[in-house]
């Protein structure tokens, strides 16, 4: 990795919910636009990944890759707790 590249990986927090919703729209073959996020938030299967994130047993991460002058990000969350 050169000085122009850097990778940061950190645990996801409940404050990452807007970002996680946007990433989830891409995973669900959407475009990531605001209306896609609204549509994803109304899907009960997709809501399992972000709603109430941060409970005991939830696992998530956010990575940010800086490459030259652009940033690329990815996120994930998974709930193994039962509601």
**How does pLDDT run across 49-72, given as a tens digit for each residue?**
888 888 888 888 888 777 666 655
In angstroms, what CA-CA distances link 30 with 6, 41, 52, 73, 76?
28, 12, 22, 17, 16
Q: Give the predicted TM-score (pTM) of the model.
A: 0.68
Q: Which is it for the CA torsion 11, 20, 70, 1, positive or negative? A: positive
Q: What is the DSSP letter of 14?
A: G
Kindly list the domain boundaries of the chain, sorted by start residue. 5-78
User: Is the per-residue pLDDT at 77 higher than 80?
Assistant: no
């Amino acid at each position: 990795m050169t000085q122009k590249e850097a990778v940061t990986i950190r645990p996801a927090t409940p404050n990452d919910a807007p970002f996680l919703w946007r990433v989830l729209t891409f995973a669900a073959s959407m475009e990531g636009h605001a209306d896609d996020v609204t549509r994803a938030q109304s899907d009960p299967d997709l809501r399992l990944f972000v709603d109430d994130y941060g409970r005991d047993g939830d696992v998530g991460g956010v990575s940010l890759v800086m490459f030259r002058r652009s940033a690329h990000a990815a996120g994930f969350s998974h709930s193994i707790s039962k509601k």
